[in-house]
Structures are given as C-alpha cells and as structure tokens.
C-alpha cells in the first residue's frame, strides 16, 4: 500500500495508474560493474556510482580529505547498472493485456539502455526524462537475457571523443571558462559544475540519479465502442488503467498577456492546462474538467481532441479556463503579502461516466520583468538617469528584490536531503530574502520530491514560503557549439522543464544562461552569431511557446533589449550616460572593498560576492589529520579552487592567490589572528574571513538598496551565493551542513524592511547616513547615532526623525572632515559609531542596527571585553545572556558540532549574532534548533563557544 500512496502523490505524472500497474525499479536487485569487471557490487536506484561504491565500502566519503583527487578514477571508468527483471515479469508478463512503458526521470548522463537483451535507446542528456514503449520486448524475458541494463559511459571521456572529431568546433580560452576537466562540458548536457567550479569539487558523477518505473497500461474498450471503461484507479485501486500522464503544464496568466505584452491587472485569469498522454485505448470524445474547491469553482466539461491508442509517443491535449480577476486571492512573496495557494483538480473525462484526476497546488499572480525605457517625465520629475528599466513587478507593483544565488546542494544529486534543502530556503526567509536565483551552471531544481522524480522539494517550498525563484536554463560561462545533434536534445530538455515549472507562482522568469552575453560581446563575429542564434532565437522561441506567464531573457547578466517584439538584444548598442540591463561585481582587491566608487551604478545587481572559509566545525567533518587544521595547510588549500586550476593539476596551483585574497582582507580590516593555541588561531582565521565577507557584502547591499532612491532606481541585489556544495572555500552564507556563516546574519540585518547605513568616502573624509526602506508606502521613524569609545563609554549621541517615501531613502546625516565627524578630542582609532533605527510598518515596529568604525578594526584600540555568558534551558529552548566590561566587536556564539540551528534576539525574534556587545547593554539570544538536521539534539550549553575580535590575538 505504501507504494501506491507514494505514486499517487506524483500528481502530474503518475496519477492515473493503479497499484498493480506501477513498478518502482528501486525494488529490483541492482548491481554496479565497472568496464573491465574487476568491480561488481550491489547498487541502488536512484543513485550514482560514487554513492554505491561508498555504500559497498570500496571508497570512503567523497567529501573527506583529498578524495576529490584520489577518487578521480571513478570518473574515468565506465559503469553499468544491471537488474534482473524476472521478479517483476513473472506475473506481469502473464497478465499483460496492454502496453508497458519504461520511465526514467533522470539518467546521468551518457548511457545505452537495453531491455531483455534488446537495445532500447542511447541517451545523452541529464536534464531530460525518458519514456519508452517496451511492450514488444516483454516476451524476450525468460528466453535468454532477462536484464534491464543501463551502461554509462564516462562523461569526460565521451566529451574528449566528441571534441576530437574533425568536425567539432574548437573554442579559444577567452570565450570558454575551464575549471578542472577542460574543454568538454559545452558538448554534454550535464551539470556544468560537475566538471569543477571555483567553489566546488569535480567528481563528474554518473548513474540513474532519479527514480525510474515500469508502467503497465491496460487496454480498455470505450463506451463509444460498446464496452465499459475502467474505474478510476485513484478510487478503486483497479489495475485496469489505460492512461499515463507523461507531462503536464499549468500556466496561469492574464487574458492578452504574453512575453512582450504586459498583463492587464483587471483582465480575467487564464488557466491553461496541457497534458501529454500515452494510452492503451482509443477515447473518441474526452474532455477536461478543472476545479478549485476552495473557491467553489468548477469548469464545464471542456472538450479535447481524441486520444489515440499509442504508447510509442504522447498525445497532447489542452484547454483554457477563464476566471474573473477578483475571485482568487493573489499570491505574493512573504514580505509583500500572503503567498496564497490553491488546490487545482484536473479531471480527464475519458467517457460519460469514467475519469481519472489529479490535484496539485498553484497560485494566481502576475510577474513582469519591466525592460521598457524610462519616460522623459521619469527623468525630469523623478530624477531617473535615462535608459531602460530592469526590474520585476508583482501583481502590477514594483518591489525591491532582496536575495542570493542557489547552486547545487550536493555534488551527488541522488543523496540530496529534502530537510536540508528546506532549511536553506527557510533560512533565506528568516534573513529577509524574497528572491533566489537558480544559477545556470547547476541543475533545473525540482518541483517537489515526487513530480518527475524530484527527490526533494524546491519550487513547492518556494511557493509555500513566498520566495521568488529566478530560473535559468542550464548554460553557463562558455560559448556552446551549434549543431543539430545538440539542438535536437536541448529542445525537449527545455520544453519539459518549462512545462513542469509553469504551475509554480514563485517562478519569475527564464534566463537563457549565465554570464555568456558578456563573454561574446568582444569576441569575433562568428561566436557572437552563434550566441545570438542559440540564446536570442532558438531558446527564446521555445520558452515563449511554452509559457505566457513569465519573461525570457537571453542571459543572467545582460545589457537588456532594444525591443521585445521582435526580440532584439541591445548588446553594445548603448547611449553614453544611460543605464541598461543589470550588472554583477567581483573585486578581490581588499583595499577597494568599501570604496563606493567601485560599486556598479545599476538598475539591478544579480551577482556579487567575496569568498570565505567555512567554520572550524565544518573542517572537523572532513580533515583527517591534526596537521591539517591550519589556514594554509596543503589539504585546506587543496579545497580552495579560486581561481580555478583550468586543468587536472592537483592541488590547485592557483589556490595561493585565493588564500592571499582572504588573508590580505583580514590583515587590512581586522586584527590578524595569532594566539598560542593553534586550533584557536585557525578557528579565528576561518571566522575572521567570514566577518570580512559579511562586512563587504553588507556594504554593497546597503549601497544598492539606497540606489532605489537615486538616479539608477536600483530595485534588486542578489548576493553570490546562499548555499554550499561541500566543506571548502566558497562565497556562501550557509555552510554545507546548514550552519549559518556570519554573512547570513549580516543579510538578516541589511535585508530588514528599514535599514540604517553609514556611507564613508575616504578620499574626501565624508560620512553620510541614510535610512532606506523597501516598503511600498511611506515609513516614519526615529534614528539614533551614538559614539562610544572602546571601553564602552558613551561619548556623544544624537537623534533624528525621518520619513522615507516608498522604495526610497532619507538622508539623516552628512558631514565632511574627521574633525567635524568624530567626537571632540577623539581620534579615529579610539571611537566607533552605533547606528540604530526604529520604524513603524503596517502597525508593527521594526528595528535595525549597524556599525561604523572610522578606522580599520586592525588599528582600533580594543580592550579586553571579559565577556560573561549565562545560559538557561536545554535543547530547542536554550537562551544565552551575554555581557561585557568593554566593547566586544563582532561578538559571536557558535553552536557545537552536530547541531544545526540559528540564534535570534530573545525580545524581537530577529536573527542575531556577530554584534557589538556594549557594557551595560546585555544581549539575550535564543538558539533555535533544526532537529531534523541535528545529530546532537540535546547539546550541553558548555559546548557553545563565544568569541570576539579580542580573541584573534588573545586566548
């Protein structure tokens, strides 16, 4: 019974199938064999070769130590998954009276599939689902070969073979970023970062990485032909189901809306439902009935085209249903309203009395990517810099997009934990984010754990939590060859994924790829032409033919468009002094980290970041020797892939450059970690790189957010990056285990609805303090600026009342020259400024706190803070009260190894860690544990570690 219930939940793909008709291939006994047969071990589905080798004890955890190097032999070999079909066929074949389908929701990546000794298909695309009619092969089982075999070829060696062909196009390094396995990923429809990236390992895995099934469709005689159709298996558990729903698309938009036409907010809603059906029977007069129970809405029986008896290919049927504008409540991101979802039931009426149904969740919203020129009135009245708009509008309202970028959650998709993904998405909400960009070098994120073999929830959780998801097709950082062979595989890949994601109100757009437009703009015309064909013409036409609810853009970072209809890219066709498209920013010169003039003045900044170490606790998970616990140990440096090696040289010969970037940043801006305890010094180094990362990103975000009230009208900032793929140097704000870095708490501060921010220009010694709001109405409040010395003595204080217009800022302080900025008689090393703001939004009080030090903390006259900690409670009800006798900058409390959670201010409930602890102002923070991810669910308060910058140089 468990199997039937689980498959009924595959609402969009297996709803019409009965218990006896579905066989989960994970129930077969699988073996994994390498090419020469020296390794033959038990295997599983879904899985990947590394994971099966690990389960068999032939290798240790791939993420341990230097296993990303020592286990490279796995990627060089060919691996074959084999299972005996006899346990399934013994009864099924005898009783088969219809069609049998072999369904794979994901194969990674190059594979020959054989069924009972007969070839079924050769596949070469990790991002596609495959369905094959194997009905005629059933009789072969028992006559010899009774195996189902998936023989996987090394993706790397396949790529080498393809690129060695005389007709293969070769690309210069200037238009093709290479990481570890060079020059092949353009030719393989596989996760790009599997071949290495500057924040992760290169395992190049292979396997049947998503669930797979055998589905038997029973022949049924329709009433039109004088017979009785089957009773719906969802009602009766009958095994006589003639129908398989291979794909579905549910696209909700406004009447008249499309890629180039903005939605009319008062128009009716259109619910566009399309189904791809494989049937064992003919149905001459089928229809679809759509209903939303919560709204008491039921459509008429909407006729669709006849369904033919064919399992070789799918028959598409579709209907549209209009709903008045004001009937459904609209879906909003969590910070702008309620993420309202509805249950939509789709009933396929096969005859007058018999039907099959499925129910899924969806929502009603309009999302528009506005790229039209600013009007002359905008320029004259609002002070907008001329050029094009580039921002999103939800339900007709412009808003500020606050968020980060998502990379794959694990090097091995098959072991990604749903609870780990949900924690990352929940953490985004807790830190005030409302948009996540799904990076185009990873994988199409699943809808949920059931649909299309997703294994874990992504878009469904985004829907529920109210997080907007910027989606990308999987193309990144290189030019791609244009040939019919690849295009024939790419088209169904894109169609399948756009259709699958259509139903999710969280989706905001499809970008064709990541960072490619900028690569080709200065390249020879030949490569630009190839780019334009693939991203302007080919992919755009596919996407807009499958959805009318979201926009398509050619690339994540783009100069925008000259027109949407016809779709014409701007590229380098810019007018001097005008602003177009969006931007990204990476600057690893730490001397320029807080130089405002180096930040892009942009409508939207979709990538910017600086790398940091993971915590000491993460290193404990993977380092195997005491000697490894050192900032520049060989193992630690081997896990710094920035800048990337560019080839298979190991350890990364460029790692010293990345290490030096972090080292110089800490040396410039913080006390240099150095104590008599080697482990403490290493822990302080790891933590200090995270402090600088947070300082750097908070400074940039504050600048971009303030741009909402300036000429650039900046309405978006997405930090690179949110999650981690392993325990190593990266740009993430959340570690692989789920532990929050300092940056994650920094995001919670700077992504608050109302923030106060200091802007320091060193060149002319000017300090400006702004209050910025992303509320859609005017906000009133009070700000306080308080100067302290490092002993914690209040030196000066001032208060300011303010009113901030919608999506704007208000300047509350401006002064030039240190003498007019600093308290009288104090120099820049002796004092620091605490900035506080309180405001009222929707009858709720919100607060924000930031800090300004007129000199680097490396020069500050710090005093021993003698932090005292008292704890109360246990487990998920544990609080810590901290006090100090002198100012403790960046006071930080770490939860122990084996626990996952975060800290919140006990009074406000706002995430709080990495704050300035001031004498006389106690801080009580609560530890909120995630028990699903924590191995230690009853931690001892003694095991929580408190540190501050004082500990960089003192035990």
All structural domains of the chain, each given as residue ranges with its CATH number in brackets, are 14-213 (2.60.120.260), 223-367 (2.60.40.10), 752-859 (2.60.40.10), 868-952 (2.60.40.10)
For residue range 155-171, what is the model confidence (pLDDT) as tens digits? 999 999 999 999 999 88
State the average pLDDT over residues 649-673: 98
State the average pLDDT over residues 174-198: 93
The verdict on whether 491 is a catalytic residue reads no
Q: What is the pLDDT of residue 152?
A: 98
Q: Is 768 left (phi over 0), alpha (psi -120 to 50) or beta?
A: beta
Q: What is the DSSP string of 373-415?
A: BPPHHIIIII-PPSBB--EEEETTEE--EEEEEE--SSSSGGG
C-alpha closest to that of 500 among 451, 567, 449:
451
- Report helix angle 655-669 to 678-706, nearest 10: 80
Structural contact between residues 622 and 63, judged by C-beta atoms closer than 8 angstroms: yes
Q: What is the pLDDT of residue 678?
A: 97
In degrees and rounded to multiples of 5, residue 48 shows phi and psi of -140, 155
Residue 329 DSSP class: P
Mean pLDDT for the chain overall: 93
Alpha-carbon gap, residue 64 to 757, rounded angstroms: 41
Res. 127 pLDDT band, cuts 50 70 90: very high
Across 216-230, 760-774, 865-879, the highest mean pLDDT is recorded for 760-774
Res. 352 pLDDT band, cuts 50 70 90: confident
Answer yes or no: is pLDDT of 19 > 50: no
Q: What is the pLDDT of residue 790?
A: 98
Answer yes or no: is pLDDT of 220 > 70: no
Sequence length of the chain is: 955
Task: Look at 19-33, 62-76, 368-382, 637-651 and tell me which has the smallest mean pLDDT.
Answer: 19-33
Alpha-carbon gap, residue 407 to 721, rounded angstroms: 8
Structural contact between residues 486 and 187, judged by C-beta atoms closer than 8 angstroms: yes
Residue 750 DSSP class: H
Q: What is the pLDDT of residue 87?
A: 86
Alpha-carbon gap, residue 314 to 496, rounded angstroms: 13
For residue range 128-148, what is the model confidence (pLDDT) as tens digits? 999 999 999 998 887 788 999
Total-model pTM: 0.95
Structural contact between residues 681 and 674, judged by C-beta atoms closer than 8 angstroms: yes
State the average pLDDT over residues 403-426: 98
Q: What is the pLDDT of residue 230?
A: 29
Alpha-carbon gap, residue 436 to 472, rounded angstroms: 11
Q: What is the pLDDT of residue 178?
A: 84
For residue range 89-99, what is the model confidence (pLDDT) as tens digits? 876 655 555 78
Q: What is the pLDDT of residue 351?
A: 79
Query: What residues form DSSP beta bridges with 93?
Result: none
State the average pLDDT over residues 693-708: 98
Structural contact between residues 270 and 264, judged by C-beta atoms closer than 8 angstroms: no
Res. 515 pLDDT band, cuts 50 70 90: very high
State the average pLDDT over residues 813-817: 96
Interior angle at CA 364, CA 248 and CA 715, nearest 5: 110
Residue 101 tokens, joined: 């389908």
DSSP H helical ranges for 725-804: 742-750
Q: For the chain, what is the radius of gyration of the CA atoms?
A: 29
Answer yes or no: is pLDDT of 228 > 80: no
Long-range CB contact pairs, 680-686, < 8 A, 24+: 680/951, 680/955, 682/616, 682/619, 682/629, 682/630, 682/631, 683/615, 683/616, 683/947, 684/947, 684/951, 684/952, 685/613, 685/631, 686/612, 686/613, 686/614, 686/615, 686/616, 686/619, 686/631
In degrees and rounded to multiples of 5, residue 712 shows phi and psi of -75, -15
Answer yes or no: is pLDDT of 770 > 90: yes
Beta strand extents in 255-335 (DSSP E only): 269-279, 287-292, 297-298, 302-303, 310-323
Answer yes or no: is pLDDT of 18 > 90: no
Task: Look at 238-247, 386-395, 622-631 and tell me which has the smallest mean pLDDT.
Answer: 238-247
Comparing 222 with 335, the larger pLDDT belongs to 335
Query: What residues form DSSP beta bridges with 401?
Result: 716
936 burial level (CB within 10 Å; 0-12, 13-18, 19+): middle
Answer yes or no: is pLDDT of 483 > 80: yes
Q: What is the pLDDT of residue 90?
A: 74
Answer yes or no: is pLDDT of 375 > 60: yes
Res. 441 pLDDT band, cuts 50 70 90: very high
Q: What is the pLDDT of residue 14?
A: 42
Contacts for 890 with CB less than 8 Å, ≥ 6 apart: 691, 742, 914, 915, 916, 948, 949
Residue 524 tokens, joined: 């020879």
For residue range 543-591, what is the model confidence (pLDDT) as tens digits? 999 999 999 999 999 999 999 999 999 999 999 999 999 999 999 999 9
Answer yes or no: is pLDDT of 224 > 60: no
Q: Given 153, 515, 712, 735, which residue is catalytic? A: 515
In degrees and rounded to multiples of 5, residue 919 shows phi and psi of -55, 135
Which contiguous run of DSSP H or E holds residue 5?
Answer: helix 2-8
State the average pLDDT over residues 396-406: 98
Structural contact between residues 701 and 717, judged by C-beta atoms closer than 8 angstroms: yes
DSSP H helical ranges for 472-623: 484-501, 517-520, 525-531, 539-546, 616-622
Q: What is the pLDDT of residue 9?
A: 30
Alpha-carbon gap, residue 428 to 718, rounded angstroms: 12
State the average pLDDT over residues 426-437: 98
Residue 804 tokens, joined: 């901030």
Alpha-carbon gap, residue 772 to 754, rounded angstroms: 6
Answer yes or no: is pLDDT of 318 > 60: yes
State the average pLDDT over residues 57-79: 98
Task: Look at 307-311, 661-665, 682-686, 750-754 and tell me which has the smallest mean pLDDT.
Answer: 307-311
Structural contact between residues 748 and 432, judged by C-beta atoms closer than 8 angstroms: yes
Q: What is the pLDDT of residue 241?
A: 65
Answer yes or no: is pLDDT of 653 > 60: yes
Contacts for 743 with CB less than 8 Å, ≥ 6 apart: 612, 690, 693, 694, 697, 719, 732, 733
Answer yes or no: is pLDDT of 355 > 90: no
Q: Cα 473 to chain center, whole Å?
A: 13
């Amino acid at each position: 019974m468990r199997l039937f219930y689980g498959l009924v939940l595959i609402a969009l793909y297996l709803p019409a199938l009965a218990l006896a008709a579905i066989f989960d291939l994970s129930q077969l006994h699988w073996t994994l064999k390498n090419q020469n047969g020296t390794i033959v071990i038990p295997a599983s589905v879904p899985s990947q070769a590394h994971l099966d080798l690990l389960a068999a004890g032939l290798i240790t955890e791939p993420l341990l130590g230097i296993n990303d190097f020592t286990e490279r032999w796995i990627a060089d070999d060919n691996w074959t998954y084999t299972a005996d079909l006899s346990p399934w066929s013994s009864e099924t074949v005898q009783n088969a009276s219809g069609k049998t389908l072999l369904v794979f929701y994901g194969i990674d990546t190059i594979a020959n599939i054989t069924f009972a000794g007969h070839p079924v298909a050769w596949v070469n695309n990790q991002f596609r689902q495959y369905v094959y009619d194997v009905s005629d092969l059933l009789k072969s089982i028992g006559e010899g070969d009774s195996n189902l075999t998936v023989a996987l070829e090394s993706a790397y060696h396949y790529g080498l073979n393809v690129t060695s062909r005389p007709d293969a196009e070769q690309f210069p390094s200037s238009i093709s970023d290479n990481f570890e396995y060079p020059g092949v990923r353009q030719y393989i429809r596989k996760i790009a970062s599997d071949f290495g990236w500057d924040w992760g390992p290169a395992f190049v895995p292979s396997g049947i990485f998503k669930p797979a099934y055998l589905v038997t469709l029973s022949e049924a005689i329709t009433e039109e032909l004088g017979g009785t159709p089957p009773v719906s298996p969802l009602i009766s558990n009958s095994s006589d189901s003639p129908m398989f729903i291979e794909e579905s698309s549910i696209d909700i938009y406004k009447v008249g809306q499309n890629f180039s036409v903005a939605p009319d907010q008062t128009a009716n809603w259109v619910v566009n439902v399309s189904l791809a059906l494989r049937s064992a029977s003919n149905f001459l007069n089928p229809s679809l009935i759509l209903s939303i129970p919560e709204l008491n809405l039921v459509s008429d029986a909407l006729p669709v085209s006849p369904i033919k008896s064919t399992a070789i290919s799918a028959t598409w049927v579709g209907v549209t249903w209009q709903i008045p504008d004001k009937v459904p409540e609209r879906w909003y991101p969590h910070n702008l309203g309620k993420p309202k979802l509805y249950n939509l039931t789709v009933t396929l009426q096969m005859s007058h009395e018999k039907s099959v149904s499925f129910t899924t969740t969806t929502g009603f919203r309009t999302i528009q990517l506005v790229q039209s020129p600013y009007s002359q009135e905008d320029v004259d009245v609002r002070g907008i810099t001329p050029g094009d708009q580039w921002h999103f509008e939800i339900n007709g309202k412009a808003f500020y997009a606050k968020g980060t970028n998502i990379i794959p959650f694990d090097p091995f998709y098959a072991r990604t934990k749903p609870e780990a993904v949900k924690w990352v998405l929940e953490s985004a909400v807790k830190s005030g984010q409302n948009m996540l960009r799904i990076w185009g070098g990873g994988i199409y994120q699943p809808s949920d754990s059931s649909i299309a073999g997703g294994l874990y929830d992504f878009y469904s959780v985004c829907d529920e939590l109210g997080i907007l998801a910027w989606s990308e097709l999987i193309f990144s950082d290189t030019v791609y060859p244009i040939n019919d062979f690849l295009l024939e595989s790419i088209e169904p890949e894109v169609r399948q994924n756009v259709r699958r994601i259509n139903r999710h109100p969280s989706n905001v757009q499809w970008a064709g790829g990541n960072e490619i437009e900028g690569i080709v703009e200065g390249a020879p015309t030949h490569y630009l032409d190839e780019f334009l064909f693939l991203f302007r013409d080919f992919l755009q036409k596919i996407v807009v033919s499958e959805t009318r609810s979201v926009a398509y853009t050619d690339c994540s970072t783009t100069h925008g468009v000259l027109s949407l209809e016809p779709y014409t890219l701007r590229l380098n066709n810019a007018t001097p002094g005008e602003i177009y498209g969006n931007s990204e920013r990476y600057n690893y010169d730490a001397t320029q980290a807080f130089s405002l003039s180096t930040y892009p003045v942009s409508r939207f900044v979709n990538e910017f970041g600086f790398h940091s170490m993971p915590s000491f606790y993460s290193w404990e998970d993977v380092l195997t020797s005491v000697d490894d616990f050192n900032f520049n140990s060989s193992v630690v440096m081997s896990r710094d892939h920035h800048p990337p090696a560019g080839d298979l040289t190991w350890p990364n010969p460029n790692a010293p450059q990345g290490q030096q970037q972090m080292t110089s940043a800490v040396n410039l801006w913080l006390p240099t970690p150095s104590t008599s305890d080697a482990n403490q010094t290493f822990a302080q180094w790891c933590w200090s790189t995270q402090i600088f990362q947070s300082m750097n990103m908070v400074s940039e975000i504050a600048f971009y957010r303030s741009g909402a009230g300036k000429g650039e009208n900046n309405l978006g900032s997405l930090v690179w990056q949110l999650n981690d793929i392993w325990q190593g140097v990266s740009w993430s704000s959340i570690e692989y285990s789920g532990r929050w870095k300092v940056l994650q708490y920094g995001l919670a501060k700077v992504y608050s609805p109302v923030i106060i921010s200091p802007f320091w220009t060193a060149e002319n010694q000017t300090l400006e303090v702004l209050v910025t709001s992303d509320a859609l109405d005017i906000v009133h409040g009070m700000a306080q600026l308080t100067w302290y010395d490092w002993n914690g003595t209040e030196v000066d204080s001032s208060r300011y009342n303010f009113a901030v217009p919608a999506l704007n800022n208000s300047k509350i302080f401006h002064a030039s020259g240190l003498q007019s900025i600093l308290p009288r008689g104090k120099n820049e090393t002796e004092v620091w400024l605490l900035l506080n703001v309180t405001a009222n939004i929707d009858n709720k009080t919100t607060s924000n706190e930031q800090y300004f030090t007129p000199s680097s903390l490396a020069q500050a006259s710090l005093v021993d803070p003698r932090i005292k900690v008292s704890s109360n409670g246990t487990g998920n009800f544990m609080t810590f009260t901290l006090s100090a006798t002198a100012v403790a900058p960046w006071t930080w409390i770490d939860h122990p190894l084996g626990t996952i959670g975060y800290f919140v201010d006990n009074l406000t409930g706002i995430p709080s860690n990495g704050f300035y602890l001031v004498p006389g102002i106690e801080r009580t923070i609560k530890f909120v544990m995630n028990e699903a991810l924590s191995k230690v669910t009853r931690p001892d308060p003694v095991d929580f570690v408190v540190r501050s910058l004082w500990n960089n140089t003192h035990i």
